Amino acid sequence: MITERPVAPRRRLAADVRRSSMLPFAFPGPLEGCRVSGGYLVEIEDVSFAYDNRPVLTGINMKIPRGRVVAIMGGSGCGKTTTLRLIGGKLRPQRGVVRVGGQVVHELDSGALYQLRRRMGMLFQFGALFTDMSVFDNVAFQMREHTDLSEELIRDLVLMKLNAVGLRGAQDLMPSELSGGMARRVALARAIALDPMLMMYDEPFAGLDPISLGVVGKLIRRLNDALGASSIVVTHDIQESLLIVDYIYFVSEGRIVAEGTPADIRASTDPWVHQFVWAEADGPVPFHYPAGPYGRDVLEAAGA
């Protein structure tokens, strides 16, 4: 079981923002009706979901404590990204409950749901930057859309967010001028623009070179701790994730088959977990696609 770590109080004054290149400026303020039940920011209880008649999730249970980084891992198509969509209210569970800040997400009306989403940050696969906007305008977008802050204060905040990811000097570049790792860092700065209480990362390491991968991984951990937020990381990258996360859920065929701390996962003797962590070609996930006996196919091809 995860124990909650102390979270430093947020700084809320613009003067504090100007004195700090790392600590967040908190706005738009506490979410009305939002509370953390038993220290958990996100609670998923007995949730099932299917696309048409194809089951994707079956009776899953997860708890995400405040201030922690939790990974959801598993093979392609096992329901990891669907879980993020359920948390964000994009999808509704067919059974079970998803709570964020004590609120049942699928019971919220559109106004309350949008209010809740403003306290979430999302890093999409490959960044999903607005291609016709500069780096600066990408990060400023949410501040202009969802706050009444002056352009002067928005400028200070955007530069602070970009400085936190090491790209203040790239503020005037366009997305087409960025490397893959730089684009991912700009997307991360945009995702934390409104100081979210919950960060969700969908394959944040996909397509990155080893240096960029290490930088993004460290930023995820560092920014989570600075914000006092909770982070959910959907990823296939085992080794990098084990360095930065506090807890891991393994999903297979829509069910949670294992969970634990990085130390638990490394020491696991569960065949499925062992195969996934150590990238073994054969195991519970077989190397061969189901087929008949090889010898029979050879003889049939030879006309025997």
> Other CB atoms closer than 10 Å to residue 6's CB: what's the count?
6
Q: Tell me whether residue 301 is in a domain.
A: no
Name the residue with tokens 């909770």: 230
Q: Tell me whether residue 73 is in a domain.
A: yes
Q: What is the CATH number of the domain that holds 175?
A: 3.40.50.300
Residue among 217, 233, 190 at smallest CA distance from 84: 233
Interacting residues of 268 by C-beta distance below 8 A, sequence separation 6+:
258, 260, 274, 277
Q: Tell me whether residue 245 is in a domain.
A: yes
Q: Tell me whether residue 123 is in a domain.
A: yes
Q: Tell me whether residue 231 is in a domain.
A: yes
Range of the domain at 261: 14-265
Res 274: pLDDT? 76
Residue among 113, 118, 114 at smallest CA distance from 141: 118
Q: Tell me whether residue 184 is in a domain.
A: yes
User: What is the total count of domains within the chain?
Assistant: 1
Output the CA–CA distances (angstroms, integers) from residue 69 to 45, 100, 173, 194, 277, in the order listed: 19, 15, 31, 19, 18
Q: Tell me whether residue 185 is in a domain.
A: yes
Res 249: pLDDT? 93
Q: Tell me whether residue 57 is in a domain.
A: yes
Res 228: pLDDT? 86
Res 200: pLDDT? 92
Q: Please list the pLDDT of the chain residue by residue as tens digits (304 residues).
A: 554 444 433 333 333 333 333 433 333 343 444 444 458 999 999 999 998 888 889 999 999 998 999 999 887 777 888 999 999 999 999 999 999 998 999 999 999 998 898 889 888 877 788 889 999 999 999 889 888 899 999 999 999 989 988 889 999 999 999 988 888 889 989 988 888 899 999 888 877 788 888 888 888 898 898 888 899 999 877 777 888 899 999 888 888 888 889 888 888 888 877 777 777 777 777 777 788 888 788 887 776 5
